[in-house]
Amino acid sequence: MSMLKKIAVSTLLGLNFGFATLAFTQQKPVDAEGHQWWQHAVFYEIYPRSFADSNNDGIGDLNGITSKLGYLQDLGVDAIWLTPCFPSPQVDFGYDVSDYQNIDPMYGTLADFDRLASQGKQHGVHIIMDFVMNHTSDQHPWFVDSRSSRTSAHRDWYVWRDGLKNGGPPNNWESLFGHSAWTFDPKTGQYYYHYFYVQQPDLNWRNPAVEKAMFDVTRWWYRRGVAGFRLDAVDTLFEDPDLRDNPILPGTNAYGDPNMVNKYNIKLPEVHDVLRRLRKVADEHGAVLIGETYTSDIGELKEYYGEHGDELQMPMDMMFAQVNRLSPDEFRRQIAAVEGAGGWPVYVLGNHDRPRSYNRYGDGQHNDAIAKLMAGLYLTLRGTPIMYYGEELGMENNDPRRKEDVKDPIGKTGWPEEKGRDGERTPMQWNDSANAGFSQATPWLPVAPSYKTHNVASELNDPNSILNFYRHLLALRHEDPALRDGEYVPLNQTDPNVLSYLRRYKGEAVLVVLNMSGSDQKVSFDLASQGFPATKAATLLTTVSAHPQEASLSGISLEPFTVYIGKVSK
Ligand code: GLC
């Protein structure tokens, strides 16, 4: 596939006051360039089910995450994005929310969340929540009321339509998760629309009451100490009011449905009006909005920043995330494009919907070297990186081998062509003991076999591990103004094997050289035209085995899939 106990009012008021103060301090720039905190931050996505299980029920939880804040701080993480941990029937593992203002008991309580937020503050780790805007669970009280009668108070909170006169759904739109996007509800004799699962009815964002209720949800979490939201499936909020059929393409997809262009049910312009208004609410709380923006070209990505920079501060560049091959040319093109979009770039390699970067970029033989190479790329670019848990270990996909083992419903519908997303959601590998130290109970998904070697405890003891490479690189990124704020200057742009660039800041620069090929390479640089007549670079970090303390710019030798990062001064 391409793709929330009430607390005493007095306590709540106390939190309100405290966090409102925090909110305004967050709006202050953190440097002379006027950057905000999130522009200097490293974000880290946590899939709560799979991170750390404190109560040993086989499913991760908030107290588990809190217990690992020290690990995250030492790694160099400044913000964690939690995928949905709100009450949910878990059809889409939390992306089907039945109460936006609570924590699912399987993950803990609101008091646990408050502890996570306050300890996060002590560790310098901001909390980002996932805002599932497009749809709710079919168990959400709004939908339960909506489907109860055609005249119910919430009827118009969802998208209900009559079927065609001769029978069948209102039009040909397909769910991203397979088959018709319309489900007939016999009680009221109409169809409701769901871009995702049948159990995920789409909210009607044309109804101002929906917008008000959903915006209030964000205000509630901001008052609780949340630093921002990752907006789920933001492309899908609006549909064509005339329900025009989508154009059909030749062939069928993994679910056996006709291929089609989602012309009339995604990326409608109205979404930008909602984002501008949502941003105003965020700005009142000093919050950051991150977008799950599956754009097909840079023009579309540009629109998500807003014409006046008044929509998303951080739309993810998913085009970069989908290069899927070690191609310097392709990465150069993608970086230049996002650099030209005028906003602050956001780089992602992997997430809970995509096979792990370790597998997508690995060649099967040099996977660990390639994992460091890829870190050397997305953690040294100008912009904010969002890591995916376990990426720093070289965690691999562990796809189900039998249909009966599949948990993700799309894997059941699409088997064997679409195996679902279980493989990239397996438990975090903490050590080499049973269940990789994630839980004392059998985990909800099986641990990947690589946990014996690729785990936090073992990798911390190995100076050459992927984890230690990440730790050194993130420390460098936090210390070096050129890596944080420097402009991106591409070098040697015709080299088919080696991707090189400078991060130039005032009188200094960091040179990044990435051998994306399986053969030895020797590269030279003439940096005089970039304002650096230097002949040598002082090594900051490298995976080249000789580990030179400095490198001559007239010839840097790189073994297959190695990284060289050095400082050049005037
Ligand atoms: C987003 C989430 C994905 C979820 C879908 C529906 O794409 O990342 O995991 O299934 O939205 O909410």
The catalytic residue among 211, 232, 235, 418 is 232
Question: Is residue 427 helix, strand or coil?
Answer: coil
CA distance 141 to 99: 8
Q: Kind of pairing, strands 346-348 and 190-193?
A: unpaired
Does the CB atom of residue 182 touch ligand 1 within 6 A?
no
Query: Is the torsion defined by CA of 470, 474, 476, 477 positive or negative?
Result: positive
**Residue type (1 letter), 427:** P
Does the CB atom of residue 3 touch ligand 1 within 6 A?
yes
Compute, in angstroms, the gap from residue 473 CA to the centroid of ligand 1.
30
Q: What is the pLDDT of residue 27?
A: 66
Q: Are 279 and 215 in contact (CB under 8 A)?
A: no
216 assigned to active site: no
Mutating to test ligand 1, I would choose from 85, 97, 232 the residue with most ligand atoms within 8 A of its C-beta, which is: 232
Protein residue closest via CA to atom 11 of ligand 1:
233
Residue among 427, 431, 352, 388 at smallest CA distance from 60: 427
pTM of the model: 0.95
pLDDT tens track of the chain, all 570 residues? Answer: 333 322 222 222 233 333 333 333 346 888 888 999 999 999 999 999 999 999 999 999 999 999 999 999 999 999 999 999 999 999 999 999 999 999 999 999 999 999 999 999 999 999 999 999 999 999 999 999 999 999 999 999 999 999 999 999 999 999 999 999 999 999 999 999 999 999 999 999 999 999 999 999 999 999 999 999 999 999 999 999 999 999 999 999 999 999 999 999 999 999 999 999 999 999 999 999 999 999 999 999 999 999 999 999 999 999 999 999 999 999 999 999 999 999 999 999 999 999 999 999 999 999 999 999 999 999 999 999 999 999 999 999 999 999 999 999 999 999 999 999 999 999 999 999 999 999 999 999 999 999 999 999 999 999 999 999 999 999 999 999 999 999 999 999 999 999 999 999 999 999 999 999 999 999 999 999 999 999 999 999 999 999 999 999 999 999 999 999 999 998
Does the CB atom of residue 352 touch ligand 1 within 6 A?
yes
Residue with tokens 């005249």: 151
As beta bridge partners, residue 513 has 500, 564
Q: Are 476 and 483 in contact (CB under 8 A)?
A: yes
Burial of 569 per CB tally in 10 Å (0-12, 13-18, 19+): exposed
DSSP state of 518: S
Question: Is residue 146 helix, strand or coil?
Answer: helix
Strands in 395-440 per DSSP E:
none
Compute, in angstroms, the gap from residue 96 CA to the centroid of ligand 1.
9
303 assigned to active site: no
Q: Are 421 and 411 in contact (CB under 8 A)?
A: yes
Q: What is the pLDDT of residue 463?
A: 97
Q: What is the pLDDT of residue 17?
A: 30
Compute, in angstroms, the gap from residue 67 CA to the centroid of ligand 1.
27
Q: How far is CA 548 from CA 517, 538, 543, 564, 565, in A?
A: 21, 9, 10, 10, 11
199 contacts: CB under 8 Å, gap ≥ 6 = 89, 91, 92, 96, 137, 138, 139
59 contacts: CB under 8 Å, gap ≥ 6 = 49, 53, 106, 107, 439, 443, 444
Does the CB atom of residue 408 touch ligand 1 within 6 A?
no
CA distance 69 to 77: 9
Does the CB atom of residue 353 touch ligand 1 within 6 A?
yes
**Residue type (1 letter), 294:** Y
